[in-house]
Structure 1
Amino acid sequence: MPSHEDLLQEFQLFARSAASVESLMERISERLHQELARYNWVGFYLLDPRDSNFLVVGPFAGSFTPNARIPFDRGLCGACATSGKTIVVHDVTNDYRYLPGTDMVKSEIVAPIFKKTKFVAEIDVESYFANTFPPADQKFVEAIAALVGKYMEGAKP
């Protein structure tokens, strides 16, 4: 199993030649889901271009169909979009904000993606196990969010 560092380097290298932000998000989602056993669903939510008070699902990999559209005032994804801060929940059954995609999820992390200083998207990782996202995982997911944000700004990492 590759380390967080190995995966981050792989994503940085791929970002240099990625054809689009969608292809970068697809690669990240697929590789994280494939390589990290407790990352049971990995995906991106993007600002809805038709209504900036909603998120729409982007590229994802995982074993269930996600919520396709989420208002800013609902769920952990909405909380991340509203606050602009990473949300880590070690046991979603204890957080009233959790908006279930499946009842199998036990923990979740959502990190915001900024283009310059504007919120534009987020990466969402869900696990079937409680306490999946310690500080090292938070740092890793936030580094991926920053990488995608830089790509969206037009900078090749």
Structure 2
Amino acid sequence: MIFEQLKPQIESILANTKTDKNDCLLKICELLENKIDYYNWVGFYFRNGKKEELILGPYVGEPTDHTIIPFGKGICGQVAVSNKNFVVPDVAAQDNYIACSITVKAEIVVPIFVNGENIGQIDIDSNTPDPFTEEDERFLEFVCSKVAEIL
């Protein structure tokens, strides 16, 4: 499976202590978007200081107007409140969804925890309907746990 092949590459990117953290995160976004066909937008959002909002970090894919997302709004904002993974097989069926592009059909968001605190998340949009499996969730939890080690 592609996920097992990507794990050492994720670890290698994050092991390079000479690379800026944001550059490491961007390299992870590029790797995932390039290697997984149905990952069409990959990015990180982080809590904006003490504010109840997320701010966009490194990402790859179509530009987005959603650089700041209030807690509770959209899928990312809901994950900031719930502290749980959120898999959306069909974004059109979600009431509290912030549309980034008309091509997006599905989304997955997995939180990043540092010392038990939700400090951000990885957000992935797909132009493929219902592509995400439990394997995606477990892999992205791995990615988030490794990212947490450098934050």
Alpha-carbon shift at residue 66 of structure 1 (Å)? 4.8
Report what 2:97 is aligned to. Answer: 98
Question: Is the Cα contact below 8 Å between 2:13 and 2:28 reproduced in 1?
Answer: no
Q: State the alpha-carbon separation in 1 of the partners of residues 88 and 65 from structure 2.
A: 18
Give ranges in structure 1 of 5+ residues lacking alignment.
Answer: 153-157
Report what 1:52 is aligned to. Answer: 51
Alpha-carbon shift at residue 116 of structure 1 (Å)? 1.2
Alpha-carbon shift at residue 36 of structure 1 (Å)? 1.1
The TM-score normalised by the length of structure 1 is 0.90
Amino acid at match of 1:86: N
Amino acid at match of 2:6: L
Cα-to-partner distance string for 1:80-120 (whole Å, 9 max, x where unaligned): 11011110010011111211111111100000001111111
Number of equivalenced pairs: 150
* Segments ≥4 residues shifted beyond 2 Å: 18-21, 63-66
Amino acid at match of 2:9: E
Show the 5 A alignment for 1:104-143.
104-143=103-142
Report what 1:22 is aligned to. Answer: 22
Report what 1:155 is aligned to. Answer: none
The TM-score normalised by the length of structure 2 is 0.94
Question: Is the Cα contact below 8 Å between 1:81 and 1:119 reproduced in 2?
Answer: yes
Alpha-carbon shift at residue 3 of structure 1 (Å)? 1.2
After superposing the two structures, state which structure 1 stretch, 35-44 or 61-70, moved more: 61-70
Give % identity: 31
Cα-to-partner distance string for 1:100-151 (whole Å, 9 max, x where unaligned): 1111111000000011111111000000111111111111111111111122
SS at match of 1:151: coil
SS at match of 2:84: coil
Amino acid at match of 2:118: F
* Root-mean-square deviation over aligned CA pairs: 1.3
